[in-house]
Structure 1
Amino acid sequence: MDQAAQTMIDNLAKNTGKSLDQWVAIVQKEDLKKHGEIVKFLKTEHEFTHGFANLVAHKTLKSDAGSASDTDELITKQYKGKEHFLPIYEKLSAEIKALGSDVEFAPKNSYVSIKRKKQFAMLIPATKTRYEIGINLKGHPAEGILEIDTKTNGMCSHKIYLTDVNDINEEVSSWLKKAYETAG
């Protein structure tokens, strides 16, 4: 488990008086099966911040990289029915890994979070026809292919939309590099 996740788990217990395992049991007792339902329940019924609610939801559903027995399985699941987007993922992954040895890939159920000291990008096979790169460049205006993100509740400030591996060009690479540099 990475240090940031462990710190969150430790702070959860300090801030709420209950351990992660106790919160997972509370959620399981409610029989909530969807990530959004769990987050909403914890925020409304227990006044959780989004970060703590998200942590408990992922751990309850075993949908984060730290809970999965095989992170490759999460990637396979993401691309089921969208296998034509795997070349995009593979090319972007290689380019991002080349940015520095401190890059961490954290697969989730539906996307891959990419972190340095903090998350700077997300790789998302969104639909069968649209691939999204989430970029964190808070305060930066929309420019070129970089659009303001209005859908991910602050997980990313911007999005780049792709449909084919050939859409990965110098502009895409430069936005990823800029996001990497600002996350350090």
Structure 2
Amino acid sequence: MTDLKQAVATQLANIEQRTGKSLSELTQIINNSGLSKHGELVTMLKTSLGMGHGDANTLVHSVRQTDGQSAAEGLSDVEVLDGLYIGAKAVLRPIHDALLLEIQKLGEFEAAPKKTYVSYRRNKQFVMIGPATNSQLEVGLNIKQLPEDPRLKALPAGQMCNFKVRLSDVSEVDAQLLGWIKAAFLAAG
């Protein structure tokens, strides 16, 4: 598996190339923006520099020297999922568990818990899973191309994933969805 620090360094170098600005200049833009919230900074970079979400997110984490996982730091995978699926969202936990059970059959990967979802990755992220609402779980698929399907929503370029699917019941964890996840898993190898 690619070293995550090297992957971030490569992404930062690509950001410099795409924006035509050095990391020092980009840091100055962030620090002089007057904004303090992570999401506001990401939106500002996307709007003012035309950056994609992933690049803007990585840049803000780099400048602020955070890893995007502080909400999950020191917690086990079970504790992270317990934190995501509390209250009204608890009914969605069995869907996440069913998906994870099937993903584990595909091979080795790592979990990168975030504040509102869990990113699953090999050399790169292949799927994101988390509660979208109190009644729907969202599966983000990071794969360039999938056949059109009414369940599958294509996302605009620059998003964290290329497609998303919303689930409200364990029965929706079916062969079709698992096929899409497997394709994303293989593409992330």
Is the pair's TM-score, using the shorter chain for normalization, greater than 0.5?
yes
Confirm or deny: 8 A CA contact 1:149 1:157 kept in the other structure: yes
Among 144, 156, 162, which residue is 1:157 paired with? 162
Please tell me the residue identity of whatever aligns with 1:125.
Answer: P
CA drift of 1:111 comes to 1.7
* CA distance in structure 2 between the partners assigned to 1:124 and 1:28 by the alignment: 33
Question: Which runs of no fewer than 5 residues in structure 2 stay unpaired?
Answer: none
Tell me if 1:69 matches 2:101: no
1:177 to 162, 177, 182: 182
Over aligned residue pairs, what C-alpha RMSD do you find? Answer: 3.6
**1:110 maps onto 2:116 in alignment:** yes
8 Å CA contact 2:91–2:135 kept in 1: the answer is no
1:10-29 pair list within 5 angstroms = 16-18=21-23, 23=27, 26-27=30-31
Cα distance in 1, alignment partners of residues 12 and 72 from structure 2: 17
Amino acid at match of 2:51: T
State the Cα distance separating 1:97 from its structure 2 match. Answer: 2.1
Aligned to 1:95: 102
Residue equivalent to 1:5: 8
Q: Which runs of 5+ in 1 are unaligned?
A: none
> What secondary structure does 1:49 align onto?
coil
Amino-acid identity (%): 33
Alignment CA distance shift 1:151-1:86 (3 Å):
farther
Match of 1:85 in 2: 92
Instruction: Write the distance in 2 (CA, Å) between the matches of 1:33 and 1:99.
Output: 37
Q: Deviations over 1:58-105 (max 9, x none)?
A: 46495723785235465444323312212221221222122112x222
Q: Larger relative CO (CA 8 A, sep 6+): 1 or 2?
A: 2
1:49 maps onto 2:55 in alignment: no
Q: Which moved more, 1:165-174 or 1:50-59?
A: 50-59
In the alignment of these two chains, the number of paired residues is: 179
Moved more, 9-18 or 115-124: 9-18
Aligned equivalents of 1:61, 1:165: Cα separation in 2: 38
**SS of match in other structure, 1:30:** coil
Superposition TM-score, scaled by structure 2 size: 0.71
Structure 2: which amino acid aligns with 1:126?
A: A
Deviations 1:9-34 (A, max 9, x none): 57668975446xx9399549824224
